[in-house]
Structure formats: C-alpha cells, structure tokens
C-alpha cells in the first residue's frame, strides 16, 4: 500500500474519529461536549506530532 498524502490524511481522520466515537459511546461519566472540546483537539495535535516524527524517521531510515 502506497501512503500518499490523501491516504495518510484519511487514515489519520479515521483513527481520530474512531477514538472520539468510542469515547462518546462508552459508559463513562464524561459529557460529549467535554470530549469534543478537550479530548478531540488533544488527540489531533498529538497525532500530528507523532505523524511528523514518524515521517521524519522514515525519511531518515530510507536515506541511511
């Protein structure tokens, strides 16, 4: 499977959506507004940081 920008973005959105959807559906005492305002942005930011580190590491491994 070739990871183009579109494939990577689609998989990223799907993973974050599954995580947020699972938290909303779970029987935990947390309001959906809290999940959407606090958890969703932190998941997205952490995901983008780890994606950037992973891409840089992959580029390093491909050249060395």
Q: Give the residue ranges of the chain where pLDDT is below 50.
A: none
pLDDT confidence of residue 53 = 96
The whole-model pTM stands at 0.80
**Cα–Cα distance, 21 to 55 (Å, whole number):** 26
Over residues 19-32, the pLDDT tens digits come to 999 999 989 888 88
Backbone angles phi, psi at 54, to 5 degrees: -65, -40
pLDDT confidence of residue 30 = 85
Spans of all domains in the chain:
5-63
């Amino acid at each position: 499977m070739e990871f183009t920008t579109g494939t990577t973005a689609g998989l990223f959105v799907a993973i974050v959506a599954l995580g947020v959807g699972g938290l909303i559906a779970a029987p935990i005492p947390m309001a959906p507004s809290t999940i959407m305002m606090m958890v969703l942005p932190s998941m997205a930011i952490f995901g983008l940081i780890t994606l950037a580190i992973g891409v840089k590491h992959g580029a390093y491994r491909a050249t060395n």
